[in-house]
Structure 1
């Protein structure tokens, strides 16, 4: 790495960024490109550069639970999910979660982003979303050979051409994609020409973060935003440096706080780095709230409990936590067809051969992607039950409003979510053709290939929280997603599963599978499906909202310039600022936040 501890400890930089992940490295790179400022990035994890576990595709989940790559957060017991604790993996190391996600590049419906502006955030709308995600993306269209296999379509106006994050159509064609997408169309989902222009209600072949010019390896924040600037003398990145708290100067009562630097832990000892201009927290939706609380910013009762003196009372810190929840339905594929799924990697000889082919830059299964997606309005997923669910959810929301018990700002969010739920043109649930086994009841059998239909709820009404457990920066925070605390979220999820099963009963999907493995016959009725969901659902790794960009009186933590209320120069730029969850995998949105933050800092926005 370019930086040693001696380069950083007690040194001053124009900008100090806590978190060398998706947004943090984006901000650092753009500051270096457009200003003459010095930038320090403190990253808690290891560099993990040139690591095959990160760079090679097809090994989804291989870094999950491994402390070298993963924070491996655990939730509190979830009372509405049989008191289970859930593993919430988050990237640890340069690139953050962009180094361990499943590298799907997905954009949300335009309405989801415009809703942020509606909630009081001028400039945060679909127009700027497109501007900044197009700037981040460098898309390569399907080759002629790929077009012979499948008619990949795109609208070039929706695709970035020269950005550092490389996206493309994975090289390995999948038979399962064909029958999944054909079945989806027979069930009423239109096949979209290009789902990256703001309309996502339908099915399509998605893009993946793979770089064709680098042997089809993962393109992520470290390769795209860090490596091109690593030798810049004004850029220091210190890894294995855990942010402990933000340092503030003395302030008179009533004055805004001024951030003067960051205290961090390196090799068991505590040090300081000083900021001449700004401090930016980009440690993610689960760590940034903890950092603020340990700095004395947050809810008075939380800080009193953990023994941190209150410097600035902001009741929204750690609140409004939202997420997507997923569950899998696994199917055994017809053994008479030669399928290409990641299940083949369970054979050690096959896995060894794929590495050899990769070294030779020849086609291999590490160029596999997750690319068959369907985003489904509730009315299509549940033609018979949607009206009942909408009525129940509406009544629930109105009852909670009248009770006066809702936290500030939630009523406005729920009103938008109800509007989306009632709109037959906007998606509420997602189905994905995952090319491998991904369920947790049975075990895959050697030599067999599987398709798992992933069901993912998008706009959950349930809200959770993340708060410091004590005043030790090395302790994980308490994470309580409060999953299914709004009971009708579970009803929507049931309809998601039932729609996915209808796909499997539709040709050519039906003839391509031998049987449903999990959950199988144990989950046929609605109540049995609900129990399967309580037992087996999990995060889809898309948490947001824990430091929401909302008006201060609405429990907001940051303003539309991402400045923490009550401070002059402390900002947050990661998924924690997203005030309302989007119907999309959140990687592209994290780059949006980073790119927009950079323009705010340079005065370009």
Structure 2
């Protein structure tokens, strides 16, 4: 179904899209649907279509991580403030990108987090637009009557898309472990939300997942939504195993904006070229998009000098302002007297094989499971005794940075918004998730036992990282330094989130539902011990953003509000790298929303 090199090399296309992941296929799909203009997608990975390792989406959490067929498996530099650990940052490789290997969680942020993007100087990037575009993506299937008997999977249809290509639904049936988790959260003051998809996410709820009931609960992702239904359109061309080397520009007059005329890419070990008649759109994600810009001569002068690439547009914001969610797990052995449904049994290859057979046959299997018990809440609720001290320390940190003039352009405004959110008694700064399997890294699970892992997730880090090309070799991974916990208050907030997770676990009915805490275990009690556990065993939540921030140019912006790269006429970036501030949500829905809005911008300017 994908094209051959001979159909692409030295040919011309109206739109050339660099990256066939979540954003790239969404932009491409909308363009070929709504215009007869030719669209080419270049994807570095394989097609990976009709692959059961991808399609068995439920309960395959992390199963394809580390496999080079599906995962880039980027590695960070040693993290000074996290005991010099090097972290693996997994990212999807192949058609569909990370939507092909993620945990299928369909989560939206609070409206205030998206409105903050507009406040930072990006007209049209607000909650109203976000809701419009994410609902356009989605086709939601409500819970069945049978599911409603077990749990109140409530929803407001005004907040759910009903005709989009991406399928979402309520996975399987309510899990006993989810129930005790959500009830314990309510005992600690969190409200049970009727529907968290309308911009108010403060509370706890059962979430939706990207599973398609019409295809026997298989994963619904960018390739099934935006490529396969449109693959036979004559104006849609996709080339896989094509690694972008650089964007090409015409030689214009000095001082004029650059015009992107094509792209160089590597296929079969050789360098090839393709021409772009209208637009080039980079959709390679927050870790690869800044590298492509730098290899093309756009970025920080010191970085380009170091890698030996002549500068075409000096943009100091390229590869800067990186933010990510970080999670830590607490794992609990569940009481065997209760018939729990967890993914733990799938660690046995024979059991996994049988459940895969049941799944394909349309029978109930554990591959219909989802991670659906979520909660978001303010610092004031999760840590009322420590809130004032943390807010004061963050305020001092920001003011000291401002006085010393050590803040890069634009960061002061971002910090002001983050501080406002931190102080707000209604907006979330903390997150807890219940994962029905063993998902911690200190100890190992025991065969035949069921576990629930509670994940605490840092939402709006004040630390800022960087992603830059190491050399001008496009096959070499970029250097990734998230500067994890460089702002010590991030670690303070994270520790409070951890302590609240443990408090919830020791609240009824959760407390009676587990036998013992596996990780970190009873030996971790003091603040110092907790912080060491966080430094040693926390992990990325795979939500990096900001490396090509949508901000005014003088504020270290890389793209404007039409996602056009400053200093160019027709080069754009459309993926999570453009998000100037992290959001309190798992970011899949946000990437689809960015891509849908990019498609409309392109169609309006065609």
Range of TM-score over shorter length: over 0.9
- After TM superposition, list the pairs within 5 Å mapping 1:41-190 onto structure 2: 41-56=41-56, 57-190=58-191
2:292 alignment partner in structure 1: 291
Q: Partner of 1:33: helix, strand, or coil?
A: helix
Render the CA deviation track for 1:27-80: whole Å, top value 9, x for unaligned: 101111111100000000000111111111211111001000000000000000
**d(CA) in 1 for partners of 2:39, 2:190:** 47
What's the TM-score once normalised by structure 2's chain length? 0.99
Q: Distance in 2 between matches of 1:578 and 1:348?
A: 40
Q: What does residue 13 of structure 1 align with?
A: 13
Structure 1 Cα separation of the partners of residues 508 and 605 of structure 2: 52
Confirm or deny: 8 A CA contact 2:150 2:173 kept in the other structure: no
Could you say what secondary structure the match of 2:80 adopts?
Answer: coil
Quote the residue 2:211 is aligned against: 210
User: What is the CA–CA distance in structure 1 between the aligned matches of 2:325 and 2:523, rounded to whole Å?
Assistant: 24
* Aligned twin of 1:509: 510
Shift of 1:173: 2.6
Q: Once the 2 structures are TM-superposed, how far is the Cα of residue 335 of structure 1 from its aligned partner?
A: 1.1
Match of 1:313 in 2: 314
Matches of 2:535 and 2:352, distance apart in 1? 34
CA distance, structure 1, for counterparts of residue 605 and residue 575 of structure 2: 19
1:343-389 per-residue CA deviation (whole Å, 9 max, x = no partner) reads 01022332222122112201110000000001010000001011110
SS in 2 for 1:576: helix
Partner of 2:382: 381
- Contact kept, 8 Å, 1:172 with 1:365, in 2: the verdict is no
- Pair 1:219 & 2:239 matched: no
Give 1:241's aligned residue.
242
Contact 1:374/1:431 (8 A) holds in 2? yes
Cα 1:142–1:260 change in 2 (3 A) is same
The CA distance in 2 between the partners of 1:282 and 1:313, in whole Å, is 21
Partner of 2:22: 22
Q: Distance in 1 between matches of 2:12 and 2:571?
A: 16
Q: Does 1:394 align with 2:395?
A: yes
CA contact (8 A) 1:172 1:369 kept: no
How far, CA to CA, are the matches of 1:152 and 1:527 in structure 2?
A: 40
Tell me if the contact between 2:2 and 2:240 (Cα under 8 Å) persists in the aligned partners: no
Aligned ranges for residues 247-286 of structure 1 at < 5 Å?
A: 247-286=248-287
Deviation per residue, 1:541-596 (Å, 9 max, x gap): 00000000000000000000000000000000000000000000000000001000
Return the offset for 1:251. 1.5
Native 8 Å contact 2:141 2:168 kept in 1: yes
Distance 1:181 1:2 in 2: 45
- Residue 413 of structure 1 aligns to a residue in which SS? helix
Do the aligned partners of 1:562 and 1:571 also contact (CA within 8 Å) in 2?
yes
Q: CA RMSD in A?
A: 0.8
User: In structure 2, how many angstroms separate the alpha carbons of the residues matched to 1:208 and 1:3?
Assistant: 31
Secondary structure, aligned partner of 1:327: strand
2:369 equivalent to 1:368: yes
Query: Equivalent residue for 1:470?
Result: 471
Deviations 1:185-242 (A, max 9, x none): 0000000000000000100000000000000011000000000111111111000000
Match of 2:344 in 1: 343
Greater CA drift, 353-362 or 386-395: 353-362
1:252 Cα deviation (Å)?
Answer: 1.4
* CA distance in structure 1 between the partners assigned to 2:275 and 2:68 by the alignment: 29
SS in 2 for 1:80: helix
3-state SS of 1:387 partner: helix
* Cross-structure match for 2:421: 420
- Tell me, yes or no, if the aligned pair for 1:71 and 1:89 is still in contact at 8 Å: yes
Alignment of 1:572-587 (within 5 A): 572-587=573-588
Q: Deviations over 1:231-284 (max 9, x none)?
A: 111111000000110001102110100000110000110001100000000000
> Contact 2:90–2:542 at 8 Å: present in 1 too?
yes
| Secondary structure of 1:522 counterpart | coil
**2:299/2:318 contact within 8 Å kept:** yes
| Pairing 1:190-205 to 2, within 5 Å after superposition | 190-205=191-206
Taking the aligned partners of 1:604 and 1:478, their CA distance within structure 2 comes to 35
**Contiguous gaps of at least 5 residues in structure 1:** none
Which residue of 2 is the match for residue 445 of structure 1? 446
In the TM superposition, residue 523 of structure 1 has moved relative to its aligned partner by 1.6
- Alignment of 1:32 onto 2:32: yes
Separation of aligned partners in 2, 1:521 and 1:514: 13
Aligned to 1:301: 302
1:604 to partner: Cα distance: 7.8
**CA distances 1:447-479 after superposition (whole Å, capped 9, x unpaired):** 111000001010010000000001100000000
Deviations 1:157-177 (A, max 9, x none): 000000011000001331001
User: Matched residue pairs, number?
Assistant: 605
For 1:525, the equivalent position in structure 2 comes to: 526
Correspondence 1:432 to 2:439: no
Contact preservation (8 Å) 1:2, 1:231: no
